[in-house]
Homo-oligomer: A and B are copies of this chain.
């Protein structure tokens, strides 16, 4: 093993000398409103893919743009390290919609630095994080003329809308994408200055539940009490999703939930998490969820069933005495290994059919799903990451979970049969998906260095 042997002073010199220019380049990228969810931004999304391709070409990682049924995928390749392992670096250039715009302090697509934070839509999710990888590769290629490992960079444009076309692309191009490890930076560190490796992601099964009662809205006086009320029926259906302890009461829901490694769970329990801080952050006077689990366990290793939206009847100002014709709920379950979104769909549909009262028709439509994932935290890429992070941050990394979903992670692992390292440079409170999204300038700078160091460590650890 080669721990500590890599000399990175040449890289450090390059990073120091080019810091300002690299941040300027990031700002250029952040100015492109590549909102994948909105077709009015299709030209921007396309322009953003072009920009990514050129930024890879420029540093000596020749890239191509692959069109899909949706937004294009950019792939850059550098394969001049025979005998060395190959890594696939994945990220996404698309961003969430910026609305509501009036809640942004400075415009969403005009990056601004305040208190060491780069504010812009996509700053941390995921443009800043994929771009620091590009700059890490540039450091190697410029100072040394080569990389210590073979590298494939894959940047997609549909992560925020479910990565619908990526799995097929990976399947169809698995020879080109064949790698010994996949590295993704699209997550957050546990705390400022605390480097973190992600051990798990929750999956997702997202539904729309529609309850149809009478053919049209009725007068609640003339019909109320005799005709089943679909809004009441929907509320009663939703109320059966959990028992009084916050445990999900859908039959079979937990059947596939796999136990966790006792050591990892112990490590998570030892992380200093501040429930009161979270309550203050979101302005509530009590937390919720499943009894018997810590907050981090509820977020990282337990599945959920959440209502994302409700709509029925009259919702305007004042009173309207209507018995609504229909009621709708958006409901999504976060899943943990080895729950399967398709199976959860079936359980949900069966549950709703069972509990829906007579006199209404309740239908469950699956909108999308993604598998949960858990890392196998052994092997050279993880060891190399631990060393590179420890050096760059002068602190040992911790293993964390993540409550959100990155649907492609399990696809990569399955199709490429390679371990996936999730090493993120976001921070708590970063407002990903919300107004005033930001990325720490320090993490952009240290992240580049850490990822540049990673390739040295990984090459040495596998050499």
**A residues within 8 Å of B by Cβ?**
37-38, 96-97, 99-100, 103, 161-162, 188, 202, 204, 206, 213-229, 231-232, 234-236, 238-239, 241-242, 278, 282-290, 295, 298-299, 302-304, 306-324, 327-330, 332, 334, 357-360, 367-368, 402-405, 431-436
Shortest distance between the CB of A90 and any CB in chain B (Å): 18
**A290 and chain B: residue at smallest CB distance:** B225
Secondary structure of the A contact surface, majority rule = loop
Residues on B with beta carbons closer than 8 Å to the beta carbon of A402: 221-222
Q: Does B312 lie within 8 Å of A213, measured CB to CB? A: no
Given A221-B405, A222-B403, A321-B204: A227 in contact with B310 (beta carbons within 8 A)? no
The residue that A226 contacts in the complex, of B287, B303, B310, with Cβ under 8 A, is: B287
A228 to chain B, nearest CB (A): 3
Would A404 and B219 be within 8 Å (CB), given that A283-B214, A306-B323 are in contact?
A: yes
Contacting pair B282 A218 (CB below 8 A): yes
User: In the assembled complex, how far is the CB of residue A328 from the closest CB belonging to chain B, in whole angstroms?
Assistant: 7
| A278-B313 Cα distance, complex, nearest whole Å | 21
Asked if B403 contacts A299 (CB within 8 A), the reply is no
* Chain A to chain B contacts (Cβ below 8 Å), 13 pairs: A37-B317, A37-B318, A218-B282, A219-B433, A225-B334, A227-B284, A228-B289, A229-B306, A238-B239, A308-B314, A309-B320, A311-B315, A315-B328
Q: Is B315 in contact with A357, judged by CB distance below 8 angstroms? A: no
**Besides A37-B319, A215-B282, 6 new A-B residue pairs in contact (Cβ under 8 A), listed by A number:** A38-B316, A216-B434, A228-B288, A234-B235, A285-B359, A288-B358
- Check B324–A217 contact: CB distance below 8 A: no
Shortest CB–CB separation between residue A25 and chain B, in angstroms?
A: 26
In this complex, what residue of B is CB-closest to A304? B225
Chain B residues in 8 Å Cβ range of A329: 231, 235
Question: CA of A295 to CA of B224 in the docked complex: distance in angstroms?
Answer: 10
Known: A222-B188, A222-B403. A284 touches B213 (CB 8 A): yes
Residues of B within 8 A of A218 (CB): 282, 433-434
Q: Is the CB of B217 within 8 A of A435?
A: yes
A130 to B295 CA separation, bound complex (whole angstroms): 62
> Which among B283, B285, B308, B357 is the interface contact of A323 at CB below 8 angstroms?
B308
A299 and B330 contact, Cβ closer than 8 Å, known pairs A238-B232, A315-B309, A319-B368: no
Q: Which 6 A-B pairs have the closest CB atoms?
A: A221-B404, A228-B288, A239-B239, A235-B238, A215-B283, A231-B307
Q: Are B315 and A434 in contact (CB under 8 A)?
A: no
Of B202, B217, B288, B306, the residue contacting A359 (CB under 8 A) is: B288
Complex Cα distance, B221 from A193, in Å, reads: 22
Chain B residues near A238 (CB, 8 Å)?
231-232, 235-236, 239
Q: How far is the CB of A5 from chain B (nearest CB, A)?
A: 37
Are B299's CB and A223's CB within 8 A? yes
Q: What CA separation (Å) do A434 and B162 show in the bound complex?
A: 39
